[in-house]
Chain A
């Protein structure tokens, strides 16, 4: 999902003027923000705060920590935006920054230890192909989607983090591996296992 389609779900502009503001060219806003223009930074905040907060909320265990991490991301943005070179879309870059912020927060909680530790069985996954159709693919309604979110929230951290970084932040396996300090193959295995676990949880729920 790209930035524009997301922002359509963001805060609805209250009047025509606000709408005009929303539609201002992102590039020029970023340019102004680089020059420490407070109004531009505020505009970026308004536009992306929910998306960044969403990521933090999925990655961290409490709303409070998520709010802290979100604040940090936007406070640091005044400096970090200078390092944005435009090679990737801005929302993806911002979510990468936010992901790093969350991982830092998790590391601090663990007193500097790695967030996800690779274990022996590594990348090999011995799992038969399931004959039944995935319960995930059949999800249609809003309530069912809420159930999916709930199941994701209850996944163990080592499954949840790569899954969220992949399907919310839309990072590549390489980027996730870099953020979590893991092997690329291991990331692929974790995402695969996360989905299997999710299917199990949802199948259990629908029975």
Chain B
């Protein structure tokens, strides 16, 4: 009798032949050794198939390998935060002496002053080096994460952000909140009338904020136009299109504004970021000025030093008690000291060309004149550059390894999400642009400040991690590793990061690639967070 086909034998082994056919085949097997061998081989094959499939691949070991945020946690944390806030307020009202000394207040990022300082520094960096600087900031945060993660690993604990950890974080953040009396005013037109005195710090938000009376505390103003015609005894913190001070501010001015006009009296210093900064001839600044500004006109009197960190045209016709230092003068812009200008200390300037500096003969400079022409040297010629890149790469690899070790599911899923291309890119652009907006909006309310800061930390961490996810994705795409072991992932990450680093240095294209990388990674991260936060019946 003729032997059965291999397909029929396969169906038989699968137990899918009809009863009659199966019986006939079994009869045949009793007589035919060749078919018996085939059927045995097919059975062995089926066994191997079953065993191989049931032994799930490594990546499937934890389908929900990352902690899923659950709504109840969020509510729990909010409740904990509210309780802590209430306790802290009572505590600080009771032990008022425990406050941070005022002189150090600007260092505390959880105080209004410190926050402005932080925003100012960030803005400066944005303007100075764009995303490169931002990436550097993010690198610091990344390194911090690496140190924390490394420490936790050394202690032998697989640290994850369990609810107790989250609670602790919230409590710590909440504890660092300052407590101070605050009066709020909102509206189209917010005024402090000439005969009015505000004893507390005033938080004013509106189209126009005008102070004609007296504020005994600080003034925090968010408006299109901020005008101080009266007196602010504390600091003026203004985020506005236009800030005008014709009255007096006895503290400091922190400003993030398009134009700042000072024609009144200022007790201490100006710290600011402004497109145009003018200190007119009627005004007097009790201390110094540290600012990044487009056009600067100093006509009045500044008792101490003036530091212009980044500037366009700088015109000095007034008097500066100590040093004047100007750096980062944009090409084509100039530093001018007129006949009436007087500098009590040294003049130092960093310019692109000597002809950008005009010093009138009548100008008085008591100290040294140090004018340096900055020639940009290619950083590729410096060994330090390569050392930095190597450190950068090594720390990124370390962070990547930690990500894989601590959150394998989340890390791998986010890497895969990078592959969705347009979705990640679009989402990333939205997150990159939208989160700072949300942070600013959240920071306007006092309770929102810790939320805003947590968001900032997460934002910077995500910007740092973006390149790791994109690098890992790129590496895997190019290498197409057959396995899914950590070594494959790390090799892919190394190759990907190396390529991204090299491409990042191509003029013009490099910047675009970096931006694209940040957007892709952020988008993938946001998508994964969204997926992780969906309700599930996960145990």
Asked if B14 and A145 make an inter-chain contact with CB atoms under 8 angstroms apart, the answer reads no
Nearest-neighbor residue (CB-CB) of A132 within chain B: B41
Taken together as a complex, chains A and B put the C-alpha atoms of A46 and B11 apart, in Å, by 35
Taken together as a complex, chains A and B put the C-alpha atoms of A75 and B68 apart, in Å, by 15
Query: Inside 8 A of A150's CB, which chain B residues have their CB?
Result: 482-483
Query: Inside 8 A of B61's CB, which chain A residues have their CB?
Result: 50
Asked if B50 and A71 make an inter-chain contact with CB atoms under 8 angstroms apart, the answer reads no
Nearest-neighbor residue (CB-CB) of A170 within chain B: B50
Given the known A-B contacts A67-B63, A75-B537, A133-B41, are A168 and B53 also in contact in the complex, defined by CB atoms under 8 Å?
Answer: yes
Taken together as a complex, chains A and B put the C-alpha atoms of A152 and B11 apart, in Å, by 20
Query: Inside 8 A of B536's CB, which chain A residues have their CB?
Result: 71, 74-75
Interface centre among A63, A78, A168 (most CB of B within 10 A): A63
14 contacts between A and B (CB under 8 A): A42-B537, A46-B539, A50-B62, A54-B53, A64-B416, A67-B63, A74-B536, A133-B41, A134-B42, A136-B44, A137-B41, A147-B482, A173-B16, A192-B7
Nearest-neighbor residue (CB-CB) of A137 within chain B: B44
Taken together as a complex, chains A and B put the C-alpha atoms of A149 and B42 apart, in Å, by 18
The answer, among A6, A46, A191, for a CB contact under 8 Å with B10, is A191
Asked if B14 and A53 make an inter-chain contact with CB atoms under 8 angstroms apart, the answer reads no
Cβ of B60 < 8 Å from any Cβ of A?
yes
Given the known A-B contacts A46-B539, A148-B52, are A62 and B416 also in contact in the complex, defined by CB atoms under 8 Å?
Answer: yes
Cβ of B48 < 8 Å from any Cβ of A?
yes
Asked if B50 and A172 make an inter-chain contact with CB atoms under 8 angstroms apart, the answer reads no
Asked if B54 and A67 make an inter-chain contact with CB atoms under 8 angstroms apart, the answer reads no
Cβ of A115 < 8 Å from any Cβ of B?
no
The answer, among A42, A62, A145, for a CB contact under 8 Å with B52, is A145
Given the known A-B contacts A136-B45, A149-B53, are A127 and B14 also in contact in the complex, defined by CB atoms under 8 Å?
Answer: no
Taken together as a complex, chains A and B put the C-alpha atoms of A168 and B54 apart, in Å, by 6
Given the known A-B contacts A71-B534, A133-B41, are A142 and B55 also in contact in the complex, defined by CB atoms under 8 Å?
Answer: yes
Asked if A129 and B5 make an inter-chain contact with CB atoms under 8 angstroms apart, the answer reads yes
Interface centre among B53, B54, B62, B413 (most CB of A within 10 A): B53
Interface centre among A50, A71, A164 (most CB of B within 10 A): A71
Taken together as a complex, chains A and B put the C-alpha atoms of A24 and B458 apart, in Å, by 42
Query: Inside 8 A of A57's CB, which chain B residues have their CB?
Result: 56-57, 59-60, 63
Taken together as a complex, chains A and B put the C-alpha atoms of A64 and B538 apart, in Å, by 16
Nearest-neighbor residue (CB-CB) of B536 within chain A: A71
Which B1-39 residues have C-beta < 8 A from chain A? 3, 5-7, 10-11, 14, 16, 38
Query: Inside 8 A of A78's CB, which chain B residues have their CB?
Result: 537
Asked if B64 and A67 make an inter-chain contact with CB atoms under 8 angstroms apart, the answer reads yes
Given the known A-B contacts A45-B537, A57-B57, are A191 and B413 also in contact in the complex, defined by CB atoms under 8 Å?
Answer: no
Cβ of B168 < 8 Å from any Cβ of A?
no
Cβ of B353 < 8 Å from any Cβ of A?
no
The answer, among B16, B42, B62, B417, for a CB contact under 8 Å with A188, is B16
Query: Inside 8 A of B55's CB, which chain A residues have their CB?
Result: 9, 142, 145, 149
Q: Enumerate chain B interface residues (CB-CB to A < 8 A).
A: 3, 5-7, 10-11, 14, 16, 38, 41-42, 44-46, 48-57, 59-64, 412-413, 416-417, 419, 482-483, 531, 534, 536-539
Asked if B539 and A45 make an inter-chain contact with CB atoms under 8 angstroms apart, the answer reads yes
Asked if B56 and A54 make an inter-chain contact with CB atoms under 8 angstroms apart, the answer reads yes
The answer, among A9, A127, A146, for a CB contact under 8 Å with B6, is A127
Taken together as a complex, chains A and B put the C-alpha atoms of A142 and B52 apart, in Å, by 8
Which A159-194 residues have C-beta < 8 A from chain B? 163-164, 166-168, 170, 172-173, 188-189, 191-192
Asked if A137 and B60 make an inter-chain contact with CB atoms under 8 angstroms apart, the answer reads no
Query: Inside 8 A of B42's CB, which chain A residues have their CB?
Result: 134, 137
Asked if B538 and A45 make an inter-chain contact with CB atoms under 8 angstroms apart, the answer reads yes
Nearest-neighbor residue (CB-CB) of A189 within chain B: B7
Given the known A-B contacts A45-B538, A74-B536, are A152 and B14 also in contact in the complex, defined by CB atoms under 8 Å?
Answer: no
Asked if A58 and B44 make an inter-chain contact with CB atoms under 8 angstroms apart, the answer reads no
Taken together as a complex, chains A and B put the C-alpha atoms of A96 and B49 apart, in Å, by 19
Taken together as a complex, chains A and B put the C-alpha atoms of A152 and B60 apart, in Å, by 15
Given the known A-B contacts A42-B537, A70-B63, are A130 and B6 also in contact in the complex, defined by CB atoms under 8 Å?
Answer: yes
Q: How far is the CB of B423 from chain A (nearest CB, A)?
A: 11
Taken together as a complex, chains A and B put the C-alpha atoms of A147 and B48 apart, in Å, by 11
Cβ of A203 < 8 Å from any Cβ of B?
no
Q: How far is the CB of A5 from chain B (nearest CB, A)?
A: 9
Asked if A125 and B7 make an inter-chain contact with CB atoms under 8 angstroms apart, the answer reads yes
Query: Inside 8 A of A67's CB, which chain B residues have their CB?
Result: 63-64, 413, 531
Query: Inside 8 A of A134's CB, which chain B residues have their CB?
Result: 41-42, 44-45
Cβ of A26 < 8 Å from any Cβ of B?
no
Taken together as a complex, chains A and B put the C-alpha atoms of A205 and B257 apart, in Å, by 66
Seed contacts A50-B56, A148-B48, A172-B16; 13 additional CB < 8 Å A-B pairs: A41-B537, A42-B537, A50-B61, A57-B59, A62-B419, A66-B60, A67-B531, A145-B52, A145-B55, A150-B482, A164-B53, A192-B7, A195-B10
Taken together as a complex, chains A and B put the C-alpha atoms of A141 and B76 apart, in Å, by 49
Taken together as a complex, chains A and B put the C-alpha atoms of A191 and B46 apart, in Å, by 11
Query: Inside 8 A of B38's CB, which chain A residues have their CB?
Result: 129
Taken together as a complex, chains A and B put the C-alpha atoms of A137 and B52 apart, in Å, by 12
Taken together as a complex, chains A and B put the C-alpha atoms of A150 and B481 apart, in Å, by 10
Given the known A-B contacts A42-B539, A49-B63, A49-B64, are A137 and B48 also in contact in the complex, defined by CB atoms under 8 Å?
Answer: yes
Asked if B416 and A1 make an inter-chain contact with CB atoms under 8 angstroms apart, the answer reads no
Given the known A-B contacts A9-B54, A38-B537, are A136 and B49 also in contact in the complex, defined by CB atoms under 8 Å?
Answer: yes
Query: Inside 8 A of A58's CB, which chain B residues have their CB?
Result: 53
B-contact bits for A118-141, CB 8 A (1 contact / 0 none): 000000010101100110110100
Nearest-neighbor residue (CB-CB) of B534 within chain A: A71
Q: How far is the CB of A10 from chain B (nearest CB, A)?
A: 10
Given the known A-B contacts A63-B59, A67-B531, A149-B57, are A163 and B537 also in contact in the complex, defined by CB atoms under 8 Å?
Answer: no
Taken together as a complex, chains A and B put the C-alpha atoms of A71 and B64 apart, in Å, by 10
Nearest-neighbor residue (CB-CB) of A188 within chain B: B11
Taken together as a complex, chains A and B put the C-alpha atoms of A49 and B61 apart, in Å, by 10
Taken together as a complex, chains A and B put the C-alpha atoms of A90 and B539 apart, in Å, by 20
Nearest-neighbor residue (CB-CB) of B10 within chain A: A192
Q: How far is the CB of B48 from chain A (nearest CB, A)?
A: 5
